[in-house]
Amino acid sequence: MELPEPAGPRSRLADAPVSAAKLREVGLFGALSDEVLDAFAQTLATERFGTGDAIFREGDAAHCLYVLLEGEVEVLKRSRANHEHRVAILGPSDCFGEMSLIDLQPRSATVRAIAPSRVLRINSEDFDRLYRQDMKSYALVALNIARDLSRRLRVADAILADVAGSVVDRYVKPRP
């Protein structure tokens, strides 16, 4: 397996590479071979962010996903009234920004570090290189992304049902 070729320029406080053993702990990389994990460990960029640093902002151009290796981040979504609302808190081994590799749209939310954080960045070139060199591993990563998105959609659906139900119960249902 070739993979290497570095993953573009590093930004914000570039850090030492992550180990293949650390990658094995991340669901995104579930079922990948040791060879692929070793190649990723040698080539994928890691970055550190301080508390309060924005990793990306809603509306930014999007070309990579991140895996949180250490720390904690919050996901913020802007409402129509232009207020930011926290919609999630993510911890180690969680990934975010994955929609950018699937739908090629601008960022749908802001992600900000709420504790000193270390992230692994996988850009579209890394993902494309995996596609060209190892279709099975590419399919596994895409399936793992789909599973994570499905899990998050189920959570969002449950929250939406609770909110809608409480609004209906409070404002629409007749009172006895």
pLDDT in tens, 119-155: 999 999 999 999 999 999 999 999 999 999 999 999 9
Q: Residue 104: how many CA atoms within 13 Å on its side-chain side?
A: 3
14 falls within a domain: no
Question: What is the domain count for the chain?
Answer: 1
Q: Which of 124, 32, 114, 125 is CA-nearest to residue 71?
A: 114
Query: Going edge to edge, which strands form the sheet with 73-78?
Result: 54-56, 110-113, 73-78, 84-90
Higher-scoring residue by pLDDT: 170, 102 = 102
**CATH number of the CATH domain containing 91:** 2.60.120.10
Q: Which domain holds residue 136?
A: 20-172
Q: CA-CA distance, 113 to 122, in Å (whole number)?
A: 18
CA angle, residues 165, 168, 169, in degrees to nearest 5 = 80
In a domain, 2, yes or no: no
In a domain, 84, yes or no: yes
Q: What is the pTM of this model?
A: 0.84
